């Protein structure tokens, strides 16, 4: 059983998935999947790039042609590695490709750790990659930085939590009150949280735009709150041709190529940098973060607000694509 995207939206299919073509193959029994905002973007037709539908997973290898990924091995998924695979919203997921790519695409995760924690491996890996991009673009360690996160969704919360854990001084700004209230009530992150417009001007070294997309009004706020010479880090989604009037910068190119460019914003020198996807080493750090870091520092389980059965997922997806879901939805096969 699996949920796939068809012309009429998400559909439940009961036929078993077929092994895709490739030099090697691995069949994974899915333990648990997480619903990502990018999944909803794909359903709405708002996401650009290769499909990653159903990519936040933890599962067990059932069948494999690779000695490095034997049956019984527990794995996560790096959707940025180019292999042929099925959706992770399934009871079983096939992946096929070269040995090197399959090994990279299915990073090993430990046994004995709750799947409700390990399902955050891919999002935490993306966040670790984002914070690595900050230090690379600025040439300074996180611990000495003042950092604002613009956007209080799952990504924004994880970015703020990990940055705070490294010693950075962090604040979170969000446009709507419901998400800020949600974070306060659940005590998810130990950082000031408030309206985006109330972040002080010229007060931080870095502003990470962690909204689902990078809308002009949020980007203008990010440019407002950074100090002269500070960095605006684009983490949220962009589309080809995205630009902001008055800022000489191709936003989509900067984000997808992970470069940093110097620009001028109404007489203030700024840097605009990008973070896109992950690197293989990010997954090892993510697993260590989830297993070794005190849960009070990054309480990912407090972000879980809904747990549903795979058979019910098509309806849940239709509801969430037009709604405003708070927290993380998990999917049990």
Give the CB-side neighbour count of residue 210, counting CA atoms within 13 A: 27
d(CA 213, CA 40): 12
pLDDT the model gives residue 33: 98
pLDDT the model gives residue 71: 98
For residue 58, which phi and psi values (nearest 5 degrees)? -135, 135
Domains with residue ranges and CATH for the chain:
2-108+299-332 (3.90.180.10), 123-274 (3.40.50.720)
pLDDT the model gives residue 189: 82
Alpha-carbon distance values, 261 to 159, 229, 274 (Å): 22, 11, 9
pLDDT the model gives residue 96: 97
Give the CB-side neighbour count of residue 77, counting CA atoms within 13 A: 33
How many CB atoms within 10 Å of residue 246? 13
d(CA 154, CA 39): 13
pLDDT the model gives residue 155: 92
- Per-residue pLDDT of the chain in tens (333 residues, 90 and over written 9): 999 988 888 999 998 888 998 899 999 999 999 999 888 888 888 777 778 899 999 999 999 999 999 999 999 999 999 999 999 999 999 999 999 999 999 999 999 999 999 999 999 999 999 999 999 999 999 999 999 999 988 999 999 999 999 999 999 999 888 888 888 888 888 888 999 999 999 999 999 999 989 999 999 999 999 999 999 999 999 999 999 999 999 999 999 999 999 999 999 999 999 999 999 899 999 999 999 887 777 888 989 999 999 999 999 999 998 888 889 999 999
pLDDT the model gives residue 311: 96
pTM across the whole model:
0.93
For helices 121-138 and 280-292, angle between their N-to-C axes, nearest 10 degrees: 110
Locate 143 and state its tokens: 């611990």
């Amino acid at each position: 059983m699996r949920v796939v995207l068809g012309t009429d939206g998400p559909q439940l299919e009961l036929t078993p998935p077929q092994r895709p073509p490739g030099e090697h193959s691995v069949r994974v029994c899915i333990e648990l999947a997480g619903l990502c905002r990018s999944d909803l973007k794909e359903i709405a037709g708002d996401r650009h790039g290769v499909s990653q539908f159903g990519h936040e997973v933890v599962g067990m290898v059932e069948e494999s042609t690779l000695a490095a990924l034997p049956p019984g091995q527990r794995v996560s998924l790096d959707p940025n590695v180019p292999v042929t695979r099925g959706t992770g919203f399934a009871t079983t997921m096939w992946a096929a490709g070269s040995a090197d790519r399959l090994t990279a695409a299915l990073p090993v995760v430990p046994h004995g750790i709750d799947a409700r924690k390990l399902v955050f491996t891919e999002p935490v890996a993306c966040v670790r990659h984002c914070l690595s991009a900050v230090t690379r673009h600025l040439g300074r360690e996180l611990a000495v930085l003042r950092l604002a996160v613009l956007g209080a969704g799952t990504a924004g919360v994880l970015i703020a939590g990990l940055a705070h854990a490294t010693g950075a001084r962090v604040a979170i700004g969000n446009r709507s009150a419901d998400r800020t209230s949600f974070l306060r009530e659940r005590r998810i992150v130990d950082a000031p949280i408030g309206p985006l417009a109330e972040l002080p001007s010229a007060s931080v070294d870095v502003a990470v735009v962690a909204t689902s997309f990078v809308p002009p009004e949020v980007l203008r706020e990010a440019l407002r709150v950074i100090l002269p010479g500070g960095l605006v880090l684009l983490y949220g989604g962009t589309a080809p041709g995205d630009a902001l009037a008055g800022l000489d910068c191709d936003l989509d190119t900067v984000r997808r190529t992970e470069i940093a460019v110097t620009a001028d914003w109404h007489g203030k020198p700024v840097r605009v940098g990008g973070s896109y996807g992950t690197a293989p080493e990010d997954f090892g750090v993510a697993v260590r973060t989830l297993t070794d870091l005190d849960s009070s520092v990054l309480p990912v389980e407090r972000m879980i607000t809904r747990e549903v059965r795979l058979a019910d997922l098509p309806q849940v997806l239709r509801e969430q694509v037009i709604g405003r879901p708070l927290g993380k939805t998990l999917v049990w096969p």
